[in-house]
Structure 1
């Protein structure tokens, strides 16, 4: 899976960080999402799917590898 983030759409809710802290973080200045891994290992993919699903701004796009 490949992860793409739209930082312009992100509203800084932090739901992605709560769902998958190994893959997502937030900037200290404004809370906008920061991608730590753009191709997570298989063991993290379920959490990444959940993060994408619950993102209120739909700022996370997942593409199968």
Structure 2
């Protein structure tokens, strides 16, 4: 965001109608707080990677979020 603080950036993002999120926690929270559609990168973490083996994707990506290949 232009010259914004983290607080104002999060407030702005959370008011968006839709979110295309990155793999970071900042975009996760923005997506979680928004009321619209959320699109996330389906192949994160990389399949069969150490992180993939340790995480439960159903706990990270909500059921109504849309995976993007």
* TM-score, normalisation: structure 2: 0.26
The structure richer in helix per residue is 2
Greater radius of gyration (CA): 2
